[in-house]
């Protein structure tokens, strides 16, 4: 069934008194906010740059939907989808499949002013990054690209760019991540992305160090292997310690860096440095998760290493 032709603006405004009358017993509704200051509760069926198509409260199911020209509309307040409010209250605990469904259902509104489609897309991308499948991380990049290119909200576009960097880091696409981090740093003073990138690079160097030493147990006697081994070791430690040295008030990142530096020293067989770093961690950041992990490593015989990189927490 075809919708009614678009209502001329004069006629559309003439029936607002009836349309704006309060309705009871209805589900959460979309609301048209008109340039006249009036509001129209309705259910949006489609919206383009020129036309909005909607159904009014109480309309018969077989009645054709109404439509109006967007030039009469100031903005649209989109109703939350079922389950959306619960997800937004605690996104970190939302099941990934729930976030995926919300994003799929809302993505058609991406770019529409006042729509939170882009924000839901970023939440879905972050949930994908908490998984262990690189295909999820690739999917997160695709979502973030859509959001950063089309969303109406500057903050949401920025969040999408930051989340995209986290995905690049997880995929170890470090050259791309460096470029995007540099661009973002030019716009903000927040060092968070630089810290995340440095940490990922250090973890990559540490993995290479472990592999190199395993393949070359007599590396100290090899003039070709020894310089590379030492470079990996020292660069990993330097990167791990940067949050502690330059952003010490960011306790979680600084403490994590100290714990990882202790791991690097343990891999390198430098027990004195390992113990010294753990002592600093326990003395300066005693209430962090890293300190709790470090308490099990104060015995020199325990050289338990950190697990592989965790998914970014947002």
Per-residue pLDDT tens over the stretch 254-286: 999 999 999 999 999 999 999 999 999 999 999
Q: How far apart are alpha carbons 264 and 199 in whole angstroms?
A: 12
What is the rounded distance in angstroms from the CA atom of residue 270 to the CA atom of residue 264?
9
| Within a domain: 3 | no
Say yes or no: 48 and 92 in one domain.
no
Of 83, 91, 292, whose CA–CA distance to 306 is shortest?
A: 292
Q: Are 57 and 151 found together in one domain?
A: no
Other beta carbons within 10 angstroms of residue 264's beta carbon come to: 30
CATH of the domain at 39: 2.30.30.100
Check residue 185 and give its pLDDT: 83
pTM of the model: 0.70
Tens digit of each residue's pLDDT (9 = 90 or more) over 68-121: 899 999 999 999 998 899 999 999 888 889 999 999 999 989 988 889 999 999
pLDDT score of 298: 63
Token couple for 222: 């090899």
Cα Dmax for the chain? 90
Instruction: Give the domain CATH number at 241.
Output: 1.25.40
Range of the domain at 125: 84-185
pLDDT greater at residue 185 or residue 101 = 101
| Residue 312 lies inside a defined structural domain of this protein | no
The model's confidence at residue 299, banded by pLDDT at 50, 70 and 90, is low
Same domain, 181 and 107: yes
Alpha carbon distance 139, 137 (integer Å): 5
- Name the more confident of 26 and 151: 151
Query: How many domains does the chain divide into?
Result: 3
**What's the CA dihedral at 85, 91, 94, 98 to 10 degrees?**
60
* Residue 269 covered by a domain: yes
User: Which among 71, 76, 75 has a CA at the least distance from the CA of 9?
Assistant: 71
57 shares a domain with 114? no
Burial class for 174, CB neighbours closer than 10 Å (0-12, 13-18, 19+): middle
Model confidence at 28, pLDDT cuts 50, 70, 90, reads low
Q: Which residues of 131-158 are buried (b: 16+ CB within 10 A; e: fewer)?
A: eeeeebbebbbebbebbbebbbbeebbb
What CA–CA distance (Å, rounded) separates 295 from 259?
Answer: 10
Rg (CA), the chain: 27
Is residue 92 located within the same domain as residue 160?
A: yes
**Where among 60, 77, 94 does a domain terminate?**
77
């Amino acid at each position: 069934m075809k919708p009614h032709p678009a209502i001329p603006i004069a006629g559309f405004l003439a029936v607002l008194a009836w349309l704006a009358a309060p309705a009871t017993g209805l589900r959460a509704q979309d609301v048209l906010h008109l340039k006249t200051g009036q509001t129209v509760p309705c259910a949006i069926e489609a919206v383009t740059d020129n036309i909005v198509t909607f159904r009014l409260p109480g309309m018969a199911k077989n009645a054709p939907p109404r439509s109006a020209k967007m030039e009469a509309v100031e903005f649209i307040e989109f109703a939350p989808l079922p389950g959306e409010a619960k997800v937004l209250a605690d996104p970190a605990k939302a099941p990934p499949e729930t976030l995926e469904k919300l994003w799929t259902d809302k993505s058609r509104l991406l770019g529409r002013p006042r729509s939170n489609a882009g924000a839901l897309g970023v939440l879905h991308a972050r949930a994908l990054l908490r998984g262990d499948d690189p295909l999820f991380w690739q999917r997160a990049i695709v979502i973030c690209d859509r959001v950063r290119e089309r969303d109406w909200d500057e903050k949401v576009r920025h969040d999408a760019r930051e989340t995209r960097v986290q995905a690049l880091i997880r995929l170890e696409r470090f050259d791309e991540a460096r470029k995007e981090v540099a661009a973002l740093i030019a716009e903000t003073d927040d060092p968070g992305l630089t810290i995340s990138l440095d940490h990922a690079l250090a973890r990559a160097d540490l993995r290479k160090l472990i592999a190199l030493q395993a393949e070359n147990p007599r590396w100290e006697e090899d003039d070709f292997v020894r310089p590379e081994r030492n470079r990996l070791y020292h660069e990993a430690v330097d990167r791990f310690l940067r949050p502690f040295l330059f952003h010490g008030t960011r306790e979680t990142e600084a403490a994590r860096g100290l714990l990882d530096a202790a791991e690097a020293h343990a891999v390198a067989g430098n027990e004195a440095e390992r113990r010294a770093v753990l002592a600093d961690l326990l003395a300066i950041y005693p209430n962090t998760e890293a300190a709790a992990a470090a308490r099990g490593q104060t015995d020199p015989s325990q050289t338990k290493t950190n697990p592989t990189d965790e998914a970014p927490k947002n």
